[in-house]
Amino acid sequence: MADEKVTESRPLIHGCGRSAAPAVLPPSLRPWLGLIAALATLVVVVLGVLYAGHSEPGRVDRWIVEPTADSVRPPWRYVALATDFLGEPVGAAMLVMATVTGCLLLRRPRAAVLIVAGVGMAVVTATLLKSLVGRTIHGDGNLSYPSGHTAFLTALALAVALLATGRLGLGRTAGTSLVFVAALVAGAAMGWAQVALGAHYPTDALGGWCTALAVVPVTAWLVDRTADQLADRMADAGQRDRR
C-alpha cells in the first residue's frame, strides 16, 4: 500500500466544528516513534546499569577509541570545538532562540513549545541520570553518562525534523526516516565532538542520543494533548458565552 501523506494545509477538526493547530507529532508517526522511544529507553537503562559508578572506559569504548584530551588535532580539533560550542549554554541558547523564532515566523506555536520543552526535558533528564549513574571521566567531579551535549543537539534535531515532516506533509515511512536520520546525524556529530575532545566515552554519547530519542516523542505527544485540551476548554467557554 502506498504511504499516505499527512497534509497540513487543512486544519485538524475536533468537536463542535472547531479547528486546531497541526499536531507536532503527526498521528502516522506515533507508532514507530513510540517503538523507537521504548527501545531507546531500554538502551539508556541497560548502559546506565552497566556503567554505574565506573571511572574507566568500558570494552566498547576502548574498541571505538581511547578518550583522551588530544584524540584529534587541528584542523579537526577546531571542528570539534565549534560543534561542542553548540551544546554550551551560550551556543545552545542561540540555537534554541533562532529555532523558536523560525517556528513563530512559520506560525507553528506548538513547534516552538516543543523546541523549548523537548530540548529542556532531554537536558534535564540527562543531568538527572548523570547524578543517578555516577559514571565519571578524568576525575571524580566529571560526571559523564549520558552526554548532555549529545542529548541537547539530538533533541533539537528531532523537534525540527518533526516540524519539517508536518510542513512537507510526509507520510509514515518518509516522515519516520527523516526524523531518525536527523537525530542520527546530529547525535553522531555531537557525539564525535565529545569523544574527540575527551569529554565523554563513546557509550556516554550513545546514552545521550538515546535519551533524546526516548524523551522528545513523549514530550511532543504531551504538547499536542495539552494544546488540544486547552483549545477544547476555550471552545466550550466561547459557546457558553454565546448562549
Query: Would you list the domain boundaries of the chain?
Result: 22-49+74-226
Structure confidence at residue 66 (pLDDT): 64
Query: Is pLDDT of 13 > 50?
Result: no
The answer to pTM > 0.75 is yes
For residue 228, the number of C-alpha atoms closer than 13 Å in the C-beta half-sphere is: 15
Q: How far apart are CA 28 and CA 233, in angstroms?
A: 26
Query: Is pLDDT of 8 > 60?
Result: no
Structure confidence at residue 65 (pLDDT): 75
Structure confidence at residue 22 (pLDDT): 85
Alpha-carbon distances of 222 from 36, 113, 122, 167, 185, rounded to whole Å: 17, 11, 14, 20, 25
Q: pLDDT category, 140, cuts 50, 70, 90?
A: confident
Structure confidence at residue 63 (pLDDT): 86
Which carries the bigger pLDDT value, residue 17 or residue 154? Answer: 154
Which carries the bigger pLDDT value, residue 20 or residue 105? Answer: 105
Q: By three-state DSSP, how is residue 73 classified?
A: coil
